[in-house]
Amino acid sequence: MFKRLYVHNTEKIRQSWYDSFFVMLVWAVAAGIAGAFATIAFQKGMQLILVAVTGTGDSIVGSMQALPWWGRILFPVVGGAVAGGLLWAASRMNGNNNADYMETVAIGDGQMSIRQGVLRSLSSLATVASGGSIGREGAMVHMASLGASVLGRLTGFGTPRLRLLVACGAAAGVAAAYGAPLAGALFVAEVVLGSMSMHTLGPMLVSAATANATMRYMGFYHTAYSLENVPMVDAPELLLFALLGLVTGVSAPAFLKGLDAMKRLFQGSVISLPLRLGLGGLLLGLILAGYPQMAGNGYNGVSMLLHASLAWEVVLAMLLLKVVATGITVGSGAIGGVFTPVLFVGGALGWLFMAATAVVWPEVSAHGYLYIIAGMGSFLGAATAAPLMAILMMFEMTLAYQVVLPLMVSAVAAYSTARAIAKVAMYDVTVTREKDAMLRRQLSATRIGDLIRPAHTIVRKGSPASEALQMFLDYPVKYVYVVDDNDVYCGVIALQDLTALLLTESDLQNRVAGDVLSLSFVKPLYPNLTLDEAQESFVDFSGERLPVISAAEPARLLGVVYKSAILEKYSALKRSIEESEKSKLEYPLGRNSGTFSVRKPWACAD
């Protein structure tokens, strides 16, 4: 007895320890430290590869420039083939755990595949180190999330806490990769979870802050885009930043659609994964042979936009080459993020917008920094469908408060424009969540009055009970509805009640329907109920149909609603939303969309 009491109390203390919000903050600190060291390990691994191959590990662009022209072609080819081989090996592994941290947090159980995670991270390392036009943050965030998942599994976390700990690891990875702890936490909250609850956001903020502090302590932190003497923007000029937001809001969906088109083009080939990534490396190498500045994620390109004096022809050429290089890298199937390439594309658009505007308003050129940063933030906000995260990220990456106001205007304008013309985002989890939210809104607005069908199994209250018996013989139903002479709903006759009556009485002619009816078997519906409310009534009801009565007294029987009708309506709404989103994706400026009709015949059975 004392042993069972001890075990019970120990388990209770252990459970309260794990479920405590304060203790979750402690584990968030551990996830933050692990995320920072995962980021450092990736950076060190990339430097080792660059030093071994090129002799210099300063930067990817500098290392690529140190190679001869043929080396700039060969290096991406070999790196792509190695990355493809690692991905192929990861795909051959069978496991129940998720390989993607977003799926793990959003819909998974918090358990990430360790072997697949390591192989995918090494594949990303091979792509990034060999000059692939892709962000290194993807692998860093994945490794940080994987470390948090392993930590939670070792300590026996339950599914909800384990998912939250993985989310903390992801926030730590973003914070460590970009030096942006606030944006790191909001990225996971806004993009992955779609929730700003302090219950989840609090641990992620602590984890991101811990990762940032660890990076600072280890000497790996620096301001990503340092700016000096940034001027404040006058109120009239904010209209230009709103216009810039419209430009980036239109451009971001087009950029994402281009990436998807490149993916389909490469995936349509019959060659194996290593050969496919090797082919992508060859095409990228042909660009890098003449333009080594296009190597890597675009960080050096943004620095050039901010600090070098460039002609518009040069910026336009850089923009086009970067879009093509990113499309080739991502399309071939390389693993990594596109955060930094997106920032470069947005910055280049901001620079070109500023240059074009300066032709008629020369004073604009004095605020060149702001247009580049606003272009980066607004393009990122439109691409990720997370404008708040984008605003905070650009502020933290520049540490210049003057950029906040232009960012607020341009990012919101870009997000609104992108959402209006095409429901497409950088991450599938965002689009899926938006579709689910739209479906829930439509379900809550749809009433069952449109789904009412005639009720064929009706008897009058004063009719002989034998009429109900004959109706049970004619129709495969469990209930017959009873109304009075004015069609006022009185209740139902259950087959089981009538059967019991037959066993005790041989003659039903002396009985009328009103003698057998009951109000307890079936709960009627009302025409103003939503689909969700009607579905809840069907959950506790084993039959196929329910009667619908008028809301006003006296309550008349209007007909019946079938469970299959509700499911069909739900499916039709879902298909309609999917077709609408597909139409917007293919025709972002709009096109007449088709309509859906329910063709399934209604079954007359309970």
* pLDDT tens-place string over residues 159-200: 888 888 888 998 999 999 888 899 989 888 887 777 777 888
pLDDT tens, position by position, 310-328: 899 999 999 999 999 999 9
Residue 197 maps to a domain: yes
Q: Which pLDDT value is given to residue 579?
A: 55
d(CA 271, CA 277): 10
Q: Does residue 203 contact residue 248 with C-beta atoms inside 8 Å?
A: no
CATH for 383: 1.10.3080.10
What tokens were used for 160? 């909800």
Domain with 32, as residue range(s), is: 2-217
d(CA 418, CA 412): 10
Residue 605 maps to a domain: no
**Residues 488-509 as b or e (16 or more Cβ within 10 Å = b):** bbbbbbbbebbeebeeeeeebe
Same domain, 378 and 340: yes
Residue 598 maps to a domain: no
d(CA 543, CA 538): 8
Same domain, 404 and 501: no
CATH for 504: 3.10.580.10
pLDDT tens, position by position, 398-416: 988 889 999 999 999 999 9
Least confident of 96-105, 201-210, 258-267: 96-105
Q: Which pLDDT value is given to residue 276?
A: 92
pLDDT tens, position by position, 226-252: 887 777 888 888 899 999 999 999 999
- Max Cα–Cα distance, the chain, nearest Å: 105
Q: Which pLDDT value is given to residue 592?
A: 35
Angle, CA 277 vertex, CA 274 and CA 280 arms, to 5°: 150
pLDDT value at 365 more than 80: no
Give the mean model confidence (pLDDT) for residues 195-216.
88
d(CA 486, CA 506): 31
Same domain, 438 and 452: no
CA-CA-CA-CA torsion sign (254, 256, 257, 262) = positive
Same domain, 18 and 165: yes
Residue 594 maps to a domain: no
Same domain, 318 and 188: no
Q: What are phi and psi of 510, to 5 degrees?
A: -85, 0
pLDDT tens, position by position, 571-597: 776 666 555 444 433 333 333 333 333
Which of 467, 466, 464, 524 lies closest to 490, judged by CA? 524
Bridging pattern class, strands 545-549 and 557-562: antiparallel
Residue 554, preceding bond cis, omega within 30 degrees?
yes
pLDDT value at 6 more than 50: no
pLDDT value at 140 more than 80: yes
Same domain, 386 and 249: yes
Residue 599 maps to a domain: no
Taking all residues of the chain, what is their mean pLDDT, rounded to a whole number? Answer: 82
Residue 408 maps to a domain: yes
Q: Which pLDDT value is given to residue 432?
A: 66
Q: Does residue 570 contact residue 532 with C-beta atoms inside 8 Å?
A: no
Same domain, 253 and 363: yes
d(CA 467, CA 482): 11
pLDDT tens, position by position, 527-565: 888 777 777 777 777 778 888 888 888 888 888 888 888
Among the three residues 442, 466, 500, which one is the final residue of a domain in this structure? 442
Number of domains in the chain: 3
pLDDT tens, position by position, 441-498: 666 667 778 788 888 888 888 888 888 888 888 888 888 888 888 888 888 888 887 7
Same domain, 109 and 208: yes
Among the three residues 442, 472, 499, which one is the final residue of a domain in this structure? 442
pLDDT value at 17 more than 60: no
Among the three residues 399, 414, 442, which one is the final residue of a domain in this structure? 442
Same domain, 165 and 260: no
Q: Which pLDDT value is given to residue 596?
A: 30
Which of 130, 136, 126, 132 lies closest to 74, judged by CA? 130
Same domain, 301 and 399: yes
Place of tokens 């210049």: 400
Greater confidence, 584 or 433?
A: 433
Residue 230 maps to a domain: no
Q: Which pLDDT value is given to residue 604?
A: 38
Q: Which pLDDT value is given to residue 593?
A: 35
DSSP-derived secondary structure for 323-375: HHHHHHHHHTT--SB-HHHHHHHHHHHHHHHHHHHHTT-GGGGGGHHHHHHHH
| Confidence band for 605, pLDDT divided at 50, 70 and 90 | very low
Same domain, 427 and 482: no
Residue 581 maps to a domain: no
pLDDT value at 106 more than 90: no
Greater confidence, 21 or 357?
A: 357
| Confidence band for 427, pLDDT divided at 50, 70 and 90 | low
H-helix or E-strand spanning residue 547: strand 545-549
Residue 511, CA distances (Å) to 457, 474, 483, 505 in order? 18, 20, 16, 10
Same domain, 250 and 392: yes
Q: Which pLDDT value is given to residue 600?
A: 34
